Copies of this chain bind each other. A is one copy, B any other.
Amino acid sequence: MTQFTRNGNCPPRIKDGGAVREVLDRIGDKWSLLVVGALREGPLRFGELEKTIEGISQRMLTLTLKHLVEDGLVSRTAYAEVPPRVEYEVTELGTTLVPLVIALAEWAMANRDQINANRSSYR
């Protein structure tokens, strides 16, 4: 099926080859992981997310949230109030992703300097 089918020269183990790409196409975009990370400790409102995630545009936040809701990683709850209040929260499925996001974030913070250094010293 969707496996490598490589006779035996390079060692598989992560059998796939498609699922990863597929999922990465969804959560591997510019903002999804940031949004999930922002929601790691509890629900946030649209405006809170916008301020929390530096640099994201209103449009991108809207689209990213929509995708995450579609994929079932985030839930959206609108309260019939005025002014409107909408809260976003990671679903149960989304919760399983949170640890990975945190790990990735910590890795990023721990190694950014190193990476930047490598990058500059590269001629």
Contacts and interface: CB of A to CB of B under 8 A. Distances in A.
A14 B116 CA distance: 20
A77 interface: no
Given A28-B28, A52-B10, A109 B19 contact: yes
Contacts of A29: 28
B28 A115 contact: no
Interface in A54-98: 54-55, 69-73, 93, 96-97
Contact of A114 (B20, B72, B107, B116): B72
Interface range on chain A (Cβ under 8 Å from partner): 35 or more
Interface string A88-123: 000001001100101111111101101111110010
Given A6-B52, A48-B9, A93-B114, A108 B70 contact: no
By secondary structure, the A interface counts as helix
A105 B14 contact: yes
Given A9-B48, A13-B41, 15 more contacts: A6-B52, A10-B48, A11-B41, A14-B37, A14-B109, A20-B104, A20-B108, A21-B55, A22-B112, A23-B112, A24-B30, A24-B104, A28-B29, A100-B103, A104-B104
Interface of A: 4, 6, 9-11, 13-26, 28-30, 33-34, 37-38, 40-42, 44, 48, 51-55, 69-73, 93, 96-97, 100, 102-109, 111-112, 114-119, 122
